[in-house]
Amino acid sequence: MTDIGIELDGISKSFVSGAGTVRALDDFTLSVAEGEFVAILGPSGCGKSTVLRIVAGLDSADRGSVTVAGSSPQTLIAEGALGVAFQDNALLPWLSVRANVALPYKLTGRPVDQARVDELVALVGLADFAGARPSQLSGGMRQRVSIARSLALAPRVLLLDEPFGALDAVTRHRLNVELARILAAEASTTLLVTHSVEEAVFLADRVVVMTGRPGRVKLTVDVPFGRDRTKAVLGQPEFLRLVAQLTAALDDDDTETGTAA
CATH number of 4-81+155-251: 3.40.50.300
Indicate where the chain has its CATH 3.40.50.300 domain(s): 4-81+155-251
Amino acid at 174: R
Q: Are 172 and 19 in contact (CB under 8 A)?
A: no
Bridge partners (DSSP) of residue 137 are: none
- For the entire predicted model, the pTM comes to 0.88
Phi–psi pair at 18, nearest 5 degrees: -60, -25
Is residue 103 packed enough to be buried (19+ CB in 10 Å), middle (13-18) or exposed (0-12)? Answer: middle
pLDDT values of the chain reduced to their tens digit, one per residue, 261 residues: 448 889 999 999 998 877 788 889 999 999 999 999 999 999 988 889 999 999 998 899 999 999 998 888 988 888 888 888 887 778 999 999 999 999 999 988 899 999 999 988 998 889 999 999 999 999 888 988 998 898 898 888 999 988 877 677 777 887 888 788 777 777 789 999 998 999 999 999 999 999 998 999 999 999 998 888 888 888 999 999 999 999 999 986 555 444 334
- Distance separating the N- and C-terminal Cα atoms of the chain: 30
| SS3 per-residue string spanning the chain | CCCEEEEEEEEEEEEEECCEEEEEEEEEEEEEECCCEEEEECCCCCCHHHHHHHHCCCCCCCEEEEEECCECHHHHHHHCCEEEEECCCCCCCCCCHHHHHHHHHHHCCCCCCHHHHHHHHHHCCCHHHCCCCHHHCCHHHHHHHHHHHHCCCCCCEEEEECCCCCCCHHHHHHHHHHHHHHHHCCCCEEEEECCCHHHHHHHCCEEEEECCCCECEEEEEECCCCCCCCHHHHHCHHHHHHHHHHHHHHHCCCCCCCCCC
